[in-house]
Amino acid sequence: MKVSSKRFVILCLAAAFVTPAFAQSSGADIYKAKCLMCHGPDGMANNPAGKALKAVSFKDPAVIKASDAELFTAVKNGKGKMPAENGKLTDAQINAAIQYVRTLEK
């Protein structure tokens, strides 16, 4: 079956616009993939891994008072036993995860 060049170009353009939308992850998805294991589903770090590592709860006043920039630095560079995500997550993904974490503080 022969595809016309116009249709091929349109298909390629459509794919170029759709692919980045699928490549982006929501803050909740990033949290589930990178943070959930230690901080738990509610951000309280009240699970076995969180307790063993003494992970901080996102309801801790120090976390609530921390600026997004401070949280960004902690995620990107690591803090305490939390590993650095620099090179593993993009800045946009880190920011999305922080915004999701802010929803867990409430």
Cα–Cα separations (whole angstroms), residue 27 to 52, 77, 100: 25, 18, 5
- What digits encode the pLDDT tens for the residues 1-59? 555 545 544 544 444 444 344 345 799 999 999 999 999 999 999 999 999 999 999 99
Domain of residue 57, residue span: 25-104
pTM of this structure? 0.75
- What digits encode the pLDDT tens for the residues 65-93? 999 999 999 999 999 999 999 999 999 99
Residue with more model confidence, 21 or 97: 97
Q: Is residue 13 part of a domain?
A: no
Q: Is residue 52 part of a domain?
A: yes
Q: Is residue 49 part of a domain?
A: yes
Element (H, E) at 32: helix 27-34
Q: Is residue 19 part of a domain?
A: no
Q: Is residue 9 part of a domain?
A: no
Q: Is residue 74 part of a domain?
A: yes
CATH number at residue 30: 1.10.760.10
Q: Is residue 6 part of a domain?
A: no
